[in-house]
Amino acid sequence: MKWILIRHGQTQGNMEHRYIGCRTDESLCEQGASALQARKYPPVKKVYASPMKRCLETAAILYPDVPVEIIENFRECDFGDWENKNYTELNGNTDYQAWIESGGELPFPNGESRVQFAARCVAAFEGIREQVDDCAIIAHGGTLMAIMERFACPAGSYFDFQVKNGCGFVLNRDGSYEYIQKP
């Protein structure tokens, strides 16, 4: 059994380095859709996806003939007050500076903490991980990072598993993995 974990294709917000979480239901940008169409991904029997447009659009491009099941708890983190903002807009904000200094451990103001978010994503994965062989999860960078932090072998920290849009991992039952290289 293996899982193909893929971060959704690029959006305009990603291009602008914005915190695009579960409150902004953004579509893929033209460049993001084109980059996905230019690649081949491992075949799968089923796709599990975040309910966000960018993930469902990615699933439709990569696996047009494969059934998709929406998993609500694979949605991106709730970035709270920082939703749809970027570093430039947050620079000088004392809460933002404290969050950076915490290594991303403090909760987002009026949003989720990384611990809450990761627990939600891991629980969702545990609920489906034995259901079907050779499946894909099309979700968000943070969702993949949470799953990989918990299940990858060799182990790594949450931030060790950052990937670009359209990239991800092949995660085997024993926790071994390989990267799906960038488009």
Taken in order of first residue, the domains within the chain and their CATH numbers are 2-180 (3.40.50.1240)
* pLDDT at res. 131: 79
Cα(145)–Cα(148) distance, rounded to whole angstroms? 5
Q: Is 171 helix (H, G, I), strand (E, B) or coil?
A: strand
Strand partners, 136: 4, 47
pLDDT given at position 175: 95
Q: Which residue has the tokens 């993949």?
A: 144
**Rg (alpha carbons) of the chain, rounded to whole number:** 16
pTM: 0.95
Strand 135-139 to strand 2-7: parallel, antiparallel, or no bridges (unpaired)?
parallel
What is the full DSSP assignment across 78-99?
--GGGTT-BHHHHTT-HHHHHH
Q: How many residues does the chain have?
A: 183
Ranges under pLDDT 50 in the chain: 183
Helix (H) or strand (E) holding 135: strand 135-139
36 Cβ contact partners less than 8 Å away, ≥ 6 residues apart: 9, 28, 58, 61, 62, 166, 183
pLDDT of amino acid 73: 98
